[in-house]
Structure 1
C-alpha cells in the first residue's frame, strides 16, 4: 500500500511540475501578432518617447478622427477612418496622460497595435516588478503585486500583456466587447477571470481598456474592421 501511495505522490509531483512548466512556457512566449506588428512598425515606440513626441503623434491621429466630423453639417453621415498606427498613437497617449510625468511608465515598452481577423490586438512587453516599484500607489499597482505573487515565475522579467477584442457601440460609447481577451504571453483570460483573480470589479477593468474614441458632436452607428484599419460610421449631431 505504501508503495502505491509513493507512486501516486511521484506521479502527482511530475504532473504538477509539468503543468507549471507549461504555464511558464505559455506565459513567457510572445504572440505572433505582436512580433509581426513590431516588424511592421520599428519606428513606433521602439524607444521611450518624450511627452512632446507622444502628444504630437496623438494629435495627428486625433485630427483624422475629428476633421471629417468638423467639416460635416448637422445630421450629415460621416465615416471616420483610422489605421492601426493611429490606434496605437491614441493608446500610447492614453497611457502617458494618466501619469504625472506624461510619459510611458518605467516597466512598459514596445507598445504595438494591429488589426487582424476583425479584432484589435494591442499590447506591450511589461516588467511587472519595475512597474510596481515605479508606479503610483493604488488599485492597479496592488493588482500587479497580486499577479506576480500568484505567478512567481513572472517576477523581474519582461512578459507580453495585451488585449484582443472587437470594438462595439454601447449606447453613446465605443468600447471593447465583453468577450475581450486579456493575454499574458500566449495565455488567454476573460475580463471576468482577471477581475476575480485580482479582486477587482470587472467594470474597473472594462473602464481601464476603454478606447476613448467618442466625440461629443458625433453619434456612432457602426464600426467596421478590416486588416487595413477601422471605419467608424455615424452622423454629426
Structure 2
C-alpha cells in the first residue's frame, strides 16, 4: 500500500499541477464515508501505533474465523465464512505492517478504517507526507516524495486521505476487488485501469497491491456477497 501511495500522489498531483488550486481543494478533502466511520462506534479505528504483536493477534483472530469452518468441514462439504468490517480492517492493517521491515505501521499513516455499506468496501487512512518522508533514505520512494512535496507546498504538514472503494468479486477461484474499484486521494477518484495507464504498470500489479488476501488453498469459493454490513463467502472444502 505504501508503494501505491507514493505513485498515486505523483500521478494525481504532478499530472494536474496546472489546476493546482482545484487539486489542493480535492486532495485535502476527507471523504464522507471516512468521516462517518470516525464517529461510528462499531468501526474499529485501529488507533495507531500498534505493536507488531497486537497487529498479529488481531489478524490471527480474523484468519481463525476464515479457517475454522473450513477445518470443521469434510471434503466437498459446503462452507460459509462471515466477516465484519472489523475483520477486514484487521487484514488491511496486517498486510500493511507485513510490507514493512519492522512489521509496524509507518508513523505517517494513521486511523486505518474499513467500512462495509451499500454493497461496497471502503478502506483507507490518513497519510501525513512529512512524517512518511522524514526517515527516507537517499534514492528511496520516501526521499523522492520529499522532493515532490518541496514543489507542492500545500501538502506539507497535512494529513491526506488515501483509500480504496470497491466491490469484492470472484475471478476464477480468487477473491479480489472488481475492475471498477476506485482508488481515492482525498476526494479525487481513479480506477485501476486509469492508474495502470498513468503509472506505466500493469493493472494486474495494481490489483495485487489492493488484494483482500482472503484466499484459502483448501476452499473452493462459489459465491461472495455483502449483507448486513458484512462480507459472506460461500464455498466448499477441497
With normalisation by structure 1, the TM-score equals 0.83
Task: Within 5 Å, give how 1:10-159 maps onto structure 2.
Answer: 19-41=19-41, 44-134=45-135, 141=142, 148=149, 153-159=154-160
Aligned structure 1 segments of 4 or more residues deviating by more than 4 angstroms: 16-19, 135-152
User: Residues 111 and 123 of structure 1 are in contact (CA less than 8 Å); yes or no, is this contact kept in structure 2?
Assistant: yes
Question: What is the deviation of 1:199?
Answer: 3.5
Deviates more, 1:113-122 or 1:194-203: 194-203
Larger Rg: 1
* Structure 2 residue 210 is matched with structure 1 residue 209: yes
Across the aligned residues of Structure 1 and Structure 2, the Cα RMSD in angstroms comes to 2.7
For residues 79-108 of structure 1, what are the alpha-carbon distances to aligned partners after superposition, in whole Å with 9 as ceiling and x for unaligned? 100000000001100111111111101211
Task: Please state whether the residue corresponding to 1:162 is helix, strand or coil.
Answer: strand
- Contact 1:146-1:198 at 8 Å conserved across structures: no
Give me the whole-angstrom Cα distance separating, in 1, the residues matched to 2:174 and 2:147.
31
* 1:38 CA drift (Å): 1.8
Show structure 2 runs of 5+ residues with no match: 1-15
Which range moves more in the overlay, 91-100 or 129-138?
Answer: 129-138
How many residues are aligned here? Answer: 222
Matched with 1:196 is 197
- The offset of 1:66, in angstroms, is 0.8
Structure 1, unmatched stretches of 5+, are 1-15
1:190 Cα deviation after fit: 1.2
- The answer as to whether partners of 1:147 and 1:198 remain within 8 angstroms in 2 is no
Take 1:236 and 1:119, find their aligned partners in 2: how far apart are those partners? 26
User: In structure 2, how many angstroms separate the alpha carbons of the residues matched to 1:151 and 1:196?
Assistant: 23
Moved more, 75-84 or 135-144: 135-144
SS of 1:75 mapped into structure 2: coil
| Distance in 1 separating the partners of 2:172 and 2:145 | 31
Distance 1:126 1:32 in 2: 17
Q: Which residue of 2 aligns with 1:232?
A: 233
Tell me, what secondary structure is at the counterpart of 2:33? Answer: helix
The answer as to whether partners of 1:169 and 1:175 remain within 8 angstroms in 2 is yes
TM-score for the superposition, normalised by structure 2:
0.83
